[in-house]
Amino acid sequence: VQLQASGGGLEQAGGSLRLSCAASGRTGSIVVTGWFRQAPGKDREFVIALRRRGATTFYGDSVKGRFTISRDNAKNTVYLQMNNLKPEDTAVYYCAVGLRSDSSSYPTVAISYDYWGQGTLVTVSS
């Protein structure tokens, strides 16, 4: 599976951005798609995930109520809609997919994911 993330950029606090993650290859085997982020000098952080079975969404605590995730099956693309952005949302955002049967059981941890995109930078100014 190949992943192409896009949509990052510079936005003011309170604004919105939408990131895209386009998948190719064995897309029919994807059981969960997630977004993680990593700010300078910090560990990678779970943001949000969408489990294909039941279309269940999982949220990181810091983004609840502000970020949503959706999927366009026809385009094999997952979107991360980020609203009410804050300076602390500044980070490189990575999309990832899991294909294993247990990948969807622990969607908030990075080791559940098998393939990762290249990352896209989001900068939020105050």
pLDDT digits (tens, 9 = 90+) for 84-114: 999 999 999 999 999 998 999 999 999 999 9
Helix (H, G, I), strand (E, B) or coil at 88: helix
Number of CB atoms found within 10 A of residue 104's CB: 21
Cα gap 68→82, rounded to integer Å: 7
Nearest to 77 by CA among 5, 17, 29, 12: 5
Nearest to 101 by CA among 46, 37, 47, 30: 30
Cα gap 8→93, rounded to integer Å: 8
The mean per-residue pLDDT over the stretch 16-21 comes to 98
Beta strands in 9-107 (DSSP E): 9-12, 17-24, 32-38, 45-51, 56-59, 67-72, 77-82, 91-98
Q: What is the pLDDT of residue 41?
A: 94
Residue 119: pLDDT over 90: yes
Counting Cβ atoms within 10 Å, is residue 49 exposed (0-12), middle (13-18) or buried (19+)? buried
Cα gap 18→93, rounded to integer Å: 11
**DSSP state for residue 108 in the 8-state scheme:** T
pLDDT digits (tens, 9 = 90+) for 42-69: 999 999 999 998 889 999 999 999 999 9
